[in-house]
Amino acid sequence: MKNEILPEKREYVKRLNNGSNTPSSYTWRKGWIRPYESLYSVLRTFERLNGFSTSGVFKMICNKKQMTIDNGYINAFIYCACNGAIETTHTSSKSVSEFFSTGDENLPAFPEMNEKAQMLLLKEFYVICPECHKIGYHSWLFQYRTLKSCPIHHVPFEILHGLSSEEKVGIMDSHPMLYEIDTKKIEDVYLKILLNVKSVEFITINDYFNIREYGERLQMVPLLSLGEEIYRRAESDCPDVEAEMSSRFRKVIGSVSNSIISGQWTEEHSQNILEDTFNRNRRHKKNPFFHDTLATTLQIYITLMEMKVQYAEEPTLNKVFHKYMCYVQGVYDPLKFRKLYHPYTSEPYTLRSTANVYDLELAFINLAHLNENDTTLVAIDDHIRFQWERYRKLVMEDHIDESKAVKKLPNVAYLCMTDKDGIIHLNRIVAESVIEK
């Protein structure tokens, strides 16, 4: 036989690598998560492409046997992106978010928001762009309150009040590999309004500020430029709030004690006030949790007393300011420290009788440490001073009756934003339209 029928070096035996033969229960590619897509949209796509029922998806992802889809379920997911969800109390959202996580924390997502910031900036209903919906896409940015129409298709958003009105989408019409979505225009919106914002807290000093109504009137402007910046510091540069406030308190009390408060004011009184303010929780003595202190109440006193000292030499102004203090504290004797130091009650902060500056819930809901929360105290300080300027103008320049002037004061709130460089910005928001009313 001739050897030439077998070309040299030709391999006539093939060893094959058959790979894995394990069947998979689902098909998913991380690349199918489109830019700015909400976790809800991703979840729905996953559900659709794998032919799962909603309960089937949760059974697989969260090991939950039963899960019915309702509005609460949607709300937990529509504001979240896979790479970083805004804070939610929904127990399943964390598992779902982790399941679909791209692992890239630098991808855009809604900034972390406290509850009030969500009320201000986000729509309370699930809105869809009908054109995006047809191809199975929903962006978390659609939920931004100021965005009224789809940046891609320029059609107004439709509000879905109930899930029954959510139309089903076909597989071949919505497979992420068949339809590319040009999210550049969504990106433009993101860059315009939310760029660099890592987290947002909205601080209201009283309940008069209508958060939703103000949110509806917000314009498409960068969030960081909203309102007037009154304070900024580096995130890592926390002040020693207790030391600063104690120093400020002792200084101002020294100026006013003999003439205004009491002839027998001693260092012991000051020490009692400060201990009662900061040392309520011994475990966190050096930097107690904000809600364990009466720092907000003390801040009000400090600010008022500092202003009082400032205006002591001007009788007319002093008189008007006293009225303003009564209004702020809601009592006729505003500097008696009733709220702070009350020997017959173990819960002094329950004496909430302040008219305009009484929202001590600030302290209850705030779970961060005192030093990291100095912005709240700065906001209270600014609020009292800002409102005083308006009040003074109304009474002394516009000659409006003191009691009526109070009603004409604008409602003021504060946006506390941390940018991606770790700088905290505290911006004052003024609901000016209230004055017009």
**Long-range pairs for 162-168 at CB < 8 Å and ≥24 separation?**
162/71, 163/69, 163/70, 163/71, 163/74, 166/128, 167/133
| 16 or 367: CB nearest other proteins | 16
- CA-based nearest residue to 204, from 429, 406, 390, 355: 429
- Based on CB atoms, which residue is closest to other proteins, 180 or 268? 180
Which part of the chain contacts other proteins (CB under 8 A), choosing from 14-22, 61-69, 95-103, 155-163? 14-22
1 binds other proteins (CB under 8 A): yes
**Which residue, 22 or 164, is less far from other proteins as judged by CB?**
22
Contact mark string toward other proteins, 173..192, x via CB under 8 A = --x-xx--------------
Interface of this chain with other proteins, residues 152 to 171, rule: CB under 8 A: 171
C-beta of 286: minimal distance to other proteins in Å?
A: 56
Chain centre to alpha carbon of residue 66: 32
- Residue 66 near other proteins by CB under 8 A: no
Closest CA to 33 of 148, 165, 158, 140: 140
Q: Is 237 in the site for other proteins (CB under 8 A)?
A: no
Q: Is 39 within 8 Å of 77 (Cβ atoms)?
A: yes
* 54 forms part of the interface with other proteins (CB under 8 A): no
- Give me the least distance between CB of 21 and other proteins, in Å please: 7
Query: Residues 427, 413: contact at Cβ < 8 Å?
Result: no
Which stretch, 42-50, 115-123, 149-157, 242-250, contacts other proteins (CB under 8 A)? Answer: 42-50
Closest contact distance (angstroms) between CB of 147 and other proteins is: 31
Nearest approach in angstroms of CB 19 to other proteins is: 9
d(CA 422, CA 383): 25
Distance from chain centroid for Cα 383: 19
Q: Which of these, 343, 337, 330, lies nearest to 302 by C-alpha position?
A: 337
List C-alpha distances in Å: 43 to 28, 55, 388.
11, 12, 51
Residue 12 in the binding site for other proteins (CB under 8 A):
yes
Exactly one of 8, 18, 63, 161 binds other proteins (CB under 8 A); which one?
18
| Site for other proteins, rule CB under 8 A | 1, 5-6, 10-16, 18, 21-25, 27, 29, 48-51, 56, 171-172, 175, 177-178
